[in-house]
């Protein structure tokens, strides 16, 4: 047996990789519950790939048959409902995990030097994931899919000069139809997904180069023992592998509860309007995006001018990329930055309020909330460079607390 292993290791750096990324990768010992999110996101990406594979085996990307092929999966395919609910509910769970994962990064200052690139790659994954979700959303070709595709592709119309050409390119014709489904399927399942997967790989590599941050925001590499390993670090394997397996168990329990007992989550994970066939003649009362994209949509609606609205939305999506350079405070973790901590909580509450408002019909009573929300959300990022220079901080301990 060991001969086979040696033969293999002489030809492939398996042992080195195992050491570098598992047994001799030191992670801080004071991770809290928010640090499960990374491994759970990896798990979910794999599950989406698996369930997506089975969906694709039955899916027909034509405007005529797409809706019925998906319903065929639900009604006539053995375990089809399981695969589809896994895939659909999986998206919402991925976004819940992403928001916790990003929130964790904000709370503990994980975007700060030397983790700027890790943050930028991570946020790029989030933006790519929004695209991935949008392409997938159009595929079942319910009436909501049709109108969402129509509305979102027409937003590209606003791009100066090349806008109209781009819209036609995205749709593959004047309107959303078979050509749109074919190219969206190719993007969703092949090109976009591969880019996403590659970025996830880069994310992990970047993480292992700089090492994990922790809830205290203290660099564990600053306190090394005589053997050269961080005093507050423990090898990822076996400590965090067993811990993450526990996290996977709890997460899968919740996931199964949703799939088996509330697969549409009362119309939040799988909206009602997706149960009508796409029909260009029957307009929907309101085309609202799924909950995880709704905050941006609320910001789009916050200004009456279309171009200004789109500019605001793009700004809201782009500005977090610059987080590492917007924060000027000497202290990393919000545990020792009461003002920053308050700002993050306010921003998070605002973000999810916008998600709620973005799901509502465009009634005048929501305009004020939309505007206030957009102001607070962007205000957080724009005021941070000033506030973080003067904000009061608490003394940071030398070593991590456990």
Q: Cα dist. 114→9, 209, 330, 333, 375 in Å?
A: 32, 10, 13, 14, 30
58, 65, 117, 126: which one binds ligand HEM (CB under 6 A): 126
Nearer to ligand HEM among residue 119 and residue 141 (C-beta) = 119
- Backbone region of residue 329 per phi and psi (left: phi > 0; alpha: psi in -120 to 50; beta: other values): beta
Q: Where are the beta strands (DSSP E) in 296-348?
A: none
- Among the candidate windows 69-77, 198-206, 309-317, 328-336, which touches ligand HEM by CB under 6 A? 198-206
The reply to whether 87 sits near ligand HEM by the rule CB under 6 A is: no
- The CA angle 236-100-137, to the nearest 5 degrees, is 115
What stretch of H or E contains 298? helix 294-302
Shortest separation between residue 196's beta carbon and ligand HEM, angstroms: 7
- 210-239 residues near ligand HEM, rule: CB under 6 A: 212-213
26, 38, 54, 350: which one binds ligand HEM (CB under 6 A): 38
First to last CA, the chain: 41
Q: Which residues of 196-209 are buried (b: 16+ CB within 10 A; e: fewer)?
A: beebbebbeebbbe
Residue with tokens 């030809």: 11
Contact in structure between 176 and 139 (CB atoms under 8 Å): no
Nearer to ligand HEM among residue 185 and residue 200 (C-beta) = 200
Nearer to another protein among residue 224 and residue 341 (C-beta) = 224
Nearer to another protein among residue 233 and residue 295 (C-beta) = 233
Shortest separation between residue 62's beta carbon and another protein, angstroms: 18
Closest C-alpha to 132, from 88, 193, 55, 84:
193
| Sites of contact with another protein (CB under 8 A) | 29, 71, 74-76, 81-82, 147, 150-151, 154-155, 157-158, 234, 238-239, 242-243, 245-246, 248-250, 252-253, 256-257, 259-261, 263-264, 272-273, 275-276, 283-287, 301, 304-306, 309-310, 361-362, 402
Shortest separation between residue 148's beta carbon and ligand HEM, angstroms: 23
Contacting residues toward ligand HEM, per CB under 6 A: 35, 37-39, 41-42, 45, 98, 101-102, 105, 108, 110-111, 115, 118-119, 122-123, 125-126, 200, 203-204, 207, 212-213
């Amino acid at each position: 047996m060991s001969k086979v292993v040696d033969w293999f290791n002489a030809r492939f750096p398996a042992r080195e990789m195992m050491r570098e990324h598992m047994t001799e990768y030191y992670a801080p010992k004071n991770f809290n519950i928010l640090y499960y999110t990374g491994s759970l996101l990896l798990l979910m990406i794999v599950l989406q790939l698996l369930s997506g594979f089975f969906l694709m085996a039955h899916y027909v990307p034509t405007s005529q048959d797409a809706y019925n092929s998906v319903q065929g999966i639900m009604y006539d395919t053995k375990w089809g409902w399981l695969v589809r609910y896994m895939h659909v509910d999986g998206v919402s769970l991925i976004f819940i995990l992403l928001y916790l994962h990003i929130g964790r990064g904000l709370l503990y200052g994980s975007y700060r030097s030397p983790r700027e690139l890790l943050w930028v790659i991570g946020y790029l994954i989030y933006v790519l994931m929004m695209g991935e979700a949008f392409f997938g959303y159009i595929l079942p070709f319910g009436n909501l899919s049709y109108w969402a595709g129509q509305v979102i592709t027409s937003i590209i119309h606003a791009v100066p000069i090349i806008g109209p050409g781009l819209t036609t390119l995205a749709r593959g014709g004047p309107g959303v139809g078979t050509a749109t489904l074919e190219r969206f399927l190719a993007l969703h399942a092949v090109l976009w997904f591969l880019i996403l997967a590659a970025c996830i790989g880069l994310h992990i590599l970047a993480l292992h180069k700089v090492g994990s941050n922790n809830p205290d925001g203290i660099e564990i590499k600053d306190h090394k023992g005589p053997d050269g390993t961080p005093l507050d670090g423990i090898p990822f394997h076996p400590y965090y592998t067993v811990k993450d397996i526990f996290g996977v168990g709890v997460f899968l329990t919740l996931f199964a509860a949703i799939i088996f007992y509330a697969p549409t989550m009362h119309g939040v994970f799988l909206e009602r309007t997706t149960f009508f066939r796409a029909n260009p003649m029957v307009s929907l009362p309101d085309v609202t995006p799924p909950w995880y994209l709704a905050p941006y949509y609320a910001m789009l609606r916050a200004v009456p001018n279309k171009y200004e609205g789109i500019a605001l939305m793009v700004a809201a999506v782009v500005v977090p990329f610059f987080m590492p350079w917007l924060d000027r405070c000497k202290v990393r973790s919000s545990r020792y930055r009461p003002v920053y901590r308050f700002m993050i909580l306010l921003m998070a509450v605002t973000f999810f309020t916008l998600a709620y408002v973005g799901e509502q019909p465009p009634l005048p009573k929501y305009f004020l909330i939309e505007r206030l929300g957009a102001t607070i959300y962007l205000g957080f990022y724009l005021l941070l460079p000033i506030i973080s220079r003067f904000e009061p901080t608490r003394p940071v301990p030398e070593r991590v607390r456990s």
